[in-house]
């Protein structure tokens, strides 16, 4: 016998697995997953993405670890990254760059900060449309 799992949730899970390559992460999860784990894990929101086959964005997060085991360095990384993400969504590119660079100082190999820094460079050269909702479309 052969079984196939289908549906939006499965599609999103599959796309998040591939999105890890875009952000240099290992464990991107959806909003529903974050809501389900409650306060037992520490996470940071990474981006709003629209995956292939969907029309609305999904906020995705990276699991940092159990709340008891997260290091002060990870908390600085999270806080600076979230500051950068807020500025990014409000098109305050220079403020976003400063915050993302501060998160890289806390953790030099931070893939999400590096990905958004690169994206900001593109947006400074060619800004997103006026109706941009801060999401990024991932087609593959």
Q: Could you give the percent of the chain with pLDDT greater than 70? A: 95
CA 16 vs. chain centroid, Å, equals 10
CB 43 within 8 A of CB 63: yes
How far apart, in whole angstroms, are the C-alpha atoms of residue 1 and residue 58?
34
Region 120-130 average pLDDT: 96
pLDDT in tens, 14-64: 888 889 999 999 999 999 999 998 888 999 999 999 988 788 899 999 999
Q: Strand 41-51 to strand 135-138: parallel, antiparallel, or no bridges (unpaired)?
A: parallel
Q: How far apart are the first and last CA of the chain?
A: 29
The whole model's pTM is what?
A: 0.89
Give backbone dihedrals phi and psi of 29, rounded to 5 degrees, phi first: -135, 160
How far apart, in whole angstroms, are the C-alpha atoms of residue 59 and residue 15?
13
């Amino acid at each position: 016998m052969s079984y196939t799992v289908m549906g939006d949730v499965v599609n999103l899970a599959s796309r998040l697995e591939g999105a890890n390559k875009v952000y240099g992460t290992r464990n991107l999860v959806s909003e529903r997953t974050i809501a389900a784990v409650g306060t037992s894990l520490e996470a940071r929101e990474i981006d709003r993405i629209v995956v292939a086959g969907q029309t609305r964005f999904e906020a995705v997060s990276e699991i940092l670890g159990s709340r008891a085991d997260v290091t002060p360095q990870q908390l600085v990384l999270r806080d600076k990254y979230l500051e950068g993400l807020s500025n990014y969504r409000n098109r305050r590119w220079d403020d976003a760059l400063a915050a993302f660079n501060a998160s890289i100082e806390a953790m030099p190999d931070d893939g999400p900060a590096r990905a958004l820094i690169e994206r900001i460079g593109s947006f400074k050269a060619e800004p997103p449309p006026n109706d941009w909702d801060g999401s990024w479309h991932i087609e593959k």
